[in-house]
């Protein structure tokens, strides 16, 4: 759009009472200015009103309707999310924050106390809710666990080999 066209449109807009509808060409020119960020706040408001009430339809007009509608929905949601929280909500959050801080301090104190009473080189295990502190018993339990893992691993390896052999035989049979 040329500068003279924009100036003429601006002059026409300024002399109007604000109630006369724009022609399709004027509306599309105003939309172009909107997307070029050349409209004043008053002109943007006018454009929104024109888009809401005009019967004209074109690719440019429909795109502007979509964009401006989408932006106004986003602005409405943003403004709604900026509304201050109710007074009871703020006090509840303060109580929750204080309770969380107390729980954190108590947990840290219990952890430090427990660490101070447990020798650093102690070897123990918990079995069905009972503490087993005999080093030899704990080491045998660990060894049994490793043996179970080893047996399970061997079983998986054997199963995988059987599967691969079956697949190989099926492929050989398919090729012949």
Report H helices in 16-134: 24-35, 41-53, 59-81, 87-117
pLDDT of 50 over the 70 cut: yes
pTM assigned to the model: 0.34
- Averaged over 57-65, what is the pLDDT? 85
Residue with tokens 């502190």: 133
d(CA 150, CA 141): 14
Mean pLDDT of the chain: 76
Span 125-137, average pLDDT: 83
44-53, 70-79, 102-111, 167-176: least confidently modelled range: 70-79
Nearest partner of 141 among 124, 154, 155, judged by Cα = 124
- Residue 29: which pLDDT band, with cuts at 50, 70 and 90? very high
End-to-end CA distance of the chain: 75
Q: How many CB atoms within 10 Å of residue 68? A: 17
Q: Could you tell me which residue, 97 or 36, shows the higher pLDDT? A: 36
Q: Model confidence over 71-115: pLDDT tens digits?
A: 666 565 656 555 665 665 566 677 777 778 888 888 888 877 776
Would the CA dihedral through 35, 36, 37, 41 be positive or negative? negative
Task: Tell me the chain's radius of gyration from C-alpha atoms.
Answer: 38
């Amino acid at each position: 759009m040329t500068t003279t066209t924009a100036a003429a449109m601006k002059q026409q807009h300024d002399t109007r009472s604000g109630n006369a509808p724009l022609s399709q060409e004027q509306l599309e020119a105003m939309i172009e200015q909107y997307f070029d960020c050349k409209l004043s706040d008053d002109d943007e408001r006018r454009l929104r009103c024109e888009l809401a009430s005009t019967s004209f339809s074109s690719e440019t007009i429909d795109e502007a309707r979509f964009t401006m509608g989408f932006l106004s929905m986003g602005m409405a949601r943003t403004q709604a999310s900026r509304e201050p929280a109710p007074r009871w909500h703020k006090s509840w959050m303060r109580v929750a924050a204080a309770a969380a801080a107390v729980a954190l301090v108590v947990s840290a104190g219990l952890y430090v106390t427990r660490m101070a009473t447990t020798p650093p080189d102690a070897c123990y295990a918990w079995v069905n809710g009972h503490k087993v502190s005999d080093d030899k018993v704990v080491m045998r339990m660990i060894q049994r666990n490793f043996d179970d893992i080893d047996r399970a691993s061997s079983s998986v390896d054997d199963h995988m080999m059987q599967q691969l052999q079956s697949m190989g035989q099926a492929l050989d049979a398919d090729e012949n």
